[in-house]
Amino acid sequence: MYGNQGAGASSGQGAGNSAVGHSMAANGVSVAAAGENETLYQLMVELFSATNREQALAELSRRRDQNPDLGVALWNAYGVMTILYQEIIAIYPLLNPPALTMPVSNRACNSLALLQLVATHEQTRMQLLKANVPQLLYPFLSTTSKAKQYDNLRLTSLGVIGALVKYDNHEVISFFVATEFLPLCLKIMDIGSELCKVVATFIFQKIILDDGGFNYVTSHPKRLHTVLVILNNVINQMVVAPSGRLLKSVTKCLIRLADNPKACEEMREGVSENLRDSTFAQVLAEDVSYRRLVYQLIIKLA
């Protein structure tokens, strides 16, 4: 199911040394300093040690912004991706009933952060998708506990998916439509924390910018109505504490949906008055780009 990763997690640290070493030599981690290259190599080898794995995951995650090709090395190192999958799957039993501790959540989030590197890189992005790896994250997105350890898990999982959709690839969008990701995304937009709402709304915006995603949402009246209700909920929830980033994302979604005549008709009467009146006057006054979006929406609905 998961590409060329095999059963490397059970190969032992000796096999890990040679396999990871070959991968980094052949596929390369482009770093200026040989010392950094050696450090990354050693950390990847440490993933094969049950004793050292947690610390290695944390350190690789900490260094993820220092090397643009680390995701390629992780993907091509025999057994490393299997280790990351095992780390993710291992916490499924702790999701329901909720039994997740913060240290366990942090460990899983470090694995997810490394997955995001693979999802971001142009050489490995589609391979990750074709291996159906994003579906491993859906159980995390299904959780409802508001405890920080669960929220972190949802946010980091959304980060992986956001990295996949940001490049406007039709095949990527089709994958998330076909695998029933949208209900999970909409639920988080409705009841998630502010940061989760921001990322989930960005992902939803990317999905409907694609013609396939747009047609999926707008072709079914009940589905379209549900989406508009949730977008209104997001707007109304910001009355007390407005978020400029979230307001802009929601407004962009409404502008796109207004391209559909039925959606436009429903939105003329159904869009939250909070978006039209002075509720968000301060954001309008301070953010020129948001002000332009609101004007664009008003013109579309006129």
Is 31 part of a structural domain of the chain? yes
The reply to whether 185 and 149 lie within a common domain is no
Q: Return d(Cα 47, Cα 5) in angstroms, integer.
A: 14
Q: Domain boundary at 121, 142, 167, which?
A: 167
Is 293 part of a structural domain of the chain? yes
Counted domains in the chain: 2
**What separation, in Å, do the N-terminal and C-terminal C-alpha atoms of the chain show?**
50
Which of 175, 220, 227, 223 lies closest to 200 in space, CA to CA? 227
Q: Domain boundary at 143, 167, 191, which?
A: 167
The reply to whether 75 and 22 lie within a common domain is yes
According to the model, what pLDDT value does residue 277 have?
87
The reply to whether 205 and 60 lie within a common domain is no
Q: Domain boundary at 123, 142, 167, which?
A: 167
Alpha-carbon distance values, 107 to 8, 11, 37, 77, 79 (Å): 20, 22, 23, 20, 18
Q: Return d(Cα 204, Cα 162) in angstroms, integer.
A: 9
Is 191 part of a structural domain of the chain? yes
Per-residue pLDDT tens digits for 24-82: 544 444 434 456 778 888 999 999 999 999 999 999 999 988 888 999 999 999 899 99
The reply to whether 121 and 223 lie within a common domain is no
According to the model, what pLDDT value does residue 287 have?
94
In the predicted model, residues of the chain with pLDDT beneath 70 are 1-35
The CATH code of the domain that includes 116 is: 1.25.10.10
Residues in the chain: 302
The reply to whether 111 and 37 lie within a common domain is yes
Is 172 part of a structural domain of the chain? no
According to the model, what pLDDT value does residue 32 have?
45
The reply to whether 19 and 160 lie within a common domain is yes
The reply to whether 210 and 251 lie within a common domain is yes
Which structural domain range is residue 77 located in? 1-167
Q: Which two tokens stand for residue 204?
A: 């939803």
Is 120 part of a structural domain of the chain? yes
Q: Which two tokens stand for residue 16?
A: 């890990």
CA-based angle 124:129:131, to the nearest 5? 95
Q: pTM for the full model?
A: 0.88
Is 174 part of a structural domain of the chain? no
The reply to whether 261 and 135 lie within a common domain is no
Is 63 part of a structural domain of the chain? yes
The reply to whether 101 and 141 lie within a common domain is yes
The reply to whether 162 and 186 lie within a common domain is no
Whether residue 242 is preceded by a cis peptide bond, meaning omega within 30 degrees of 0, is: no
In the chain, % of residues over pLDDT 90: 80
The reply to whether 157 and 249 lie within a common domain is no
Sign of CA dihedral 225, 230, 234, 236: positive
Is 173 part of a structural domain of the chain? no
The reply to whether 263 and 292 lie within a common domain is yes
Long-range contacts of 242-247 (CB under 8 A, 24+ apart): 242/279, 242/280, 242/282, 242/283, 243/194, 243/197, 243/198, 244/283, 244/286, 244/287, 244/290, 245/198, 246/194, 246/197, 246/198, 246/201, 247/280, 247/283, 247/290
According to the model, what pLDDT value does residue 17 have?
53
